[in-house]
Each structure stands twice: as C-alpha cells, then as structure tokens.
Amino acid sequence: MTTNPWWRGAVVYQVYPRSLMDANNDGIGDIPGIISKLDYIASLGVDAIWVSPFFKSPMKDFGYDISDYRDIDPLFGSLADFDRLIAEAHARGIKIIIDQVLSHTSDQHAWFLESRESRDNAKADWYVWADPKPDGTPPNNWLAIFGGSAWEWEPRRCQYYLHNFLKSQPDLNYHCDAVRAQILEEVEFWLKRGVDGLRLDAIIFCFHDKLLRDNPAKPIEERRGRGFREDNPYAFQRHVYDCDRPENLQFLESLRKLMDRYPGAVTLGEIASEDSLKTMAEYTAGNSRLHMAYSFELLVDQLSGSYIRETVETLEKNLTEGWPCWSIGNHDVVRVMSRWGGAEQSPQLAKTLNALLLSLRGSVCSYQGEELGLPEAEIQQHELQDPYGITFWPRFKGRDGCRTPMPWHHTETHAGFAQAKTWLPIPAAHKERAVSLQDDDSASILNAYRTFMQWRKQQPALRLGEIAFVADAQDYLVFIRRYENQALLCAFNFANTSQRVSLDRPYSLAAISGHGLASIEVNTDTLELPAYGALISRII
C-alpha cells in the first residue's frame, strides 16, 4: 500500500467554512474555527480536508465568486491563519485540498473591472465578450444555470459578457493565452504555500465554442432525470457549445504539468456534463490530466442498489488510467439522510450509507455532518441566503438546507457553533444529533463512522482493490472488493425490514471484526441482511 499515491483510496472530509465553527463570534464560520476543530476531524480518521472557498469575495455566491485569487476574505481570517491551518493539519497527518474556481471570477475582480472599460485595454479579451444580434438580443441561446440568459449587457463596451452562473460571475476567456498563463500562476501561488491538492469547481466550463453556436434543444423525453426541474429551462438544451469543449483537455494537461512539479499534489475535478461518466474518463485519461474526478451521479433523489451498480460499472468500463472519487452528499444538494432516508431517517441507515460510501472503489468525499447523520434543514423564505433558492422559491428552496452550521453541543447557545446569531438557523433536529450527544454513545452514528474508518485504513481491498458486483435490487447491494490476497464480501440493505439475498454462487465466508458491522462465517449462496443493516465478511 505504501507504493500508491496517498490520495488513492483516501477519504476527503469536505468543510464548508461558513458552517464548521465560528471562532470570532460573528455567526459565520472561519479558518480559526476550522483549526479549533482539527482534533475532531482527526478523530474521524480522514486523510484530507477539502476546504470550500475562503478567498476574497463579495459573497454573491458565498465565495464561488472570487475577487482576488491570492487573498483570504476577512470574513474567514487572513493568510497567516491559512498558513497555520496547513501547519496544524499537517502536524496531525491531514492533507489540505482547496477549492479553485477557475472558469469565472467575480464581477468585482480587478481583471473584469479593467476588461469591461473598453474593447482595447490590456485585458479586453480576458473575458467572453460578444456583440448583440442586429435586433439587440444576446448573441445566442445559451442559458445560465441559475436562471435566464447566460449573457449580460455591459453599456461601457456596448457588448454582452458570458456568465454560466450568476450575472456577477463573468466567465474568463480561456481562448486567450494570457488568461491560461495567469490562471496557472494563481494556482501555483497556493501550491507554493503548501496545499496538497485542488478541488476544481465547474472545471468543464473553462472553454466555450469560439463560433458561439446555439445549443440544440434536448428532446422532451430526455429532459427527465438527475437534476431536471421544470421551473428551470437550463435542462431544455444539450450543453455542447457552452461547456466541456475539446480545448479543455489541453488546458488540463498544462495544469497537470504544473502539479507534477509539486510531488504528492492532487487534482480533483467536479464533473457535471451531458454524459458525466464519459467525461470523467476523458478528464482522467493518460495519467496526464486530472488525478481524480467526481460527478453528481450518486447525488440523486432516490436510493437504489441497482442504480448504484449501473453507475459504478459504467464508470469502471470507461475508466482506464483514471481514478474515481465518490460522494453521496455535498454543499449543493439536499442532505443524503433526507434524500435517501425518507421520513424515518433511521440512524442505522445512516451508518449503513456511510459504510457503503467508504466501501466503493475509489476515493471518497464525505461532507461535514454526514458522520452525524444530519438531515436537511427546513429554511423559511425570509431566512434564505442562497441566490439559487431565492430565484426559484418556492418550487426549489436552494442549497441553504444542507449548509447550516454544525451542531457541536446540544445545550449550548446556537449548538456551540457561535455566540452570535448564526448566518443560517440550526434546526432542533440537528441539536438532537449534536457531537456532544454522539461522542459518548458507543452506538452512535458518529462512533460507527470512526470505527469503520479506523478499520478501513488497514484494508487494502477497500482502499485499492477491484470491485465486482454479485447481487443488486432497488433496496440492497452486494459486491466484492479484492486486492492481492484479500477479498471482502460487502452487503448493504436499504430497507427497514430484513432481507434474504441470493448471490450469484456459493461463497466461503470467514467472519472479520473491527468494522462494527455484521459478519458471518459460513459457506452459502444466500445472505440474511438485517433491516437497514450492512455485512462485511472475508472470502476464503
């Protein structure tokens, strides 16, 4: 196992800085707050922390609109605080991965402020500018993910600029050589500072079609599925010209050459394209592009063992040299216990879902609060912060419900997160699953997570092995993880009743301990899985 890169099979704990811990009592989490919780994060047994954006920003999209790539927003602290975070994390054996939002900036970034002033200044072509059609309308039919046209009129230049997200997030023009060179310098600033990796946000959006061709319409029968909402016409198009362009691969190769100058530094790309599994394979091919990629394929609304199998097998078929990374929750989707746990939101199911995620082939992104089994918070309209939710309320309530502050103590003010009023409310249901309550409960979701994580570290089959599925249905999943002379049978029941599962053939199983799950010693072609239960045994 020591010959493999640290990130293969690693577990990355995603921290949303606004909501982990508030150290200065302004109701908003910060970098000193993260430092104060490093011992807790270390107790989980994770390998790395992915820190969502903390850069200087007007916060129109809560840090994903960067106005200075090389500075910390005062809301979160200072560069000195960040340097201390790296040092303190490394002292505990934890790597630091930071978000890099490379496809666009804030409209308050100095580059854009200069670019918009005229058509002939030094940064005139650093963003995507286009003349209107003869009737004054936008140059094509491209749409913004957050609603409406992807083009915004700028009277200073008498042109439109492109924004795939908010109008306050203008897209950089990657067809410009100077932009690509400058972005690599921005990235290297953090590599020199000691970060261990980059999570690349919206990385498929760097390049656009130079000819600005219209996106074709997507047939009605194909508009259903993951992420589709009738209230947002973005899903009505095939997004073939506004993102995921062939030139993107060349830029990723340039980025990889830079990363290779910093041994051990890793890239993790966020992929959400027309065919995300195919794109993941392309973006990680040849050991010359991204190290890892993850998609939204397991961030779906319904839990299905058959769907998980189909998704993983499809990626395995397409993937060559690349390495997958899986997540079942993050800061952009409804928390997994509300999506997959239904009204019951069973603590036992939370344990099983965490064990499932940590048993798939690849690396793992585990979102803060999943180790506690937190459900989605119900946010009232007057409490909304997310511009996405504000635009589409009430049919879509945005992403605030998965971004609420961590509940550290069930009896303290604001659950121990802060003394001041918190930027988003902390629901009573979260206080009932606070760290203080789960810490001392040997049967808690939190301690089940810790137990499984410590055991997983010693299992090369789970960290590095191949995967082969042997049984699946809507409400269960069984697969084998195999590495060298170790083979593990992993079975998961998503139903609230026990199930008898038929395997593809008889297996000789030996009980194995330490993971906190069920384990059996038997020669059988069937398994008895307890309600919401998981089983892992050694194959002999």
pLDDT tens track for 485-515: 999 999 999 999 999 999 999 999 999 999 9
Tell me the pTM. Answer: 0.96
Task: Over range 67-71, report the average pLDDT.
Answer: 98
10 Å CB burial of residue 412 (0-12, 13-18, 19+) is: middle
Residue 1 pLDDT class (50, 70, 90 cuts): very low
Task: Over range 78-99, report the average pLDDT.
Answer: 98
Task: Over range 164-173, report the average pLDDT.
Answer: 98
pLDDT of residue 228: 56
Which residues are tagged catalytic?
201, 270
Domains and CATH numbers, the chain: 11-103+177-209+243-455 (3.20.20.80), 466-539 (2.60.40.1180)
Q: Where are the alpha helices (DSSP H) in 64-174?
A: 79-91, 110-115
Whether 358 and 454 have beta carbons less than 8 Å apart is answered as no
Average pLDDT of every residue of the chain:
96
Higher pLDDT, 194 or 277: 194
Whether 302 and 343 have beta carbons less than 8 Å apart is answered as no
DSSP for 458-476?
Answer: T-HHHHH-EEEEEEEETTE
**Which residues, 6+ apart, have CB-to-CB distance to 213 below 8 Å?**
140, 241
> pLDDT tens digit string along 221-277?
888 655 556 788 999 999 999 999 999 999 999 999 999 999 999 999 999 888 999
Rounded to whole angstroms, how far apart are CA atoms 180 and 185?
A: 9
The maximal CA–CA distance of the chain, rounded, in angstroms, is 76
Asked if the model's pLDDT at residue 2 lies above 70, the reply is no
pLDDT of residue 225: 54
> pLDDT tens digit string along 307-343?
999 999 999 998 877 899 999 999 999 999 999 998 8
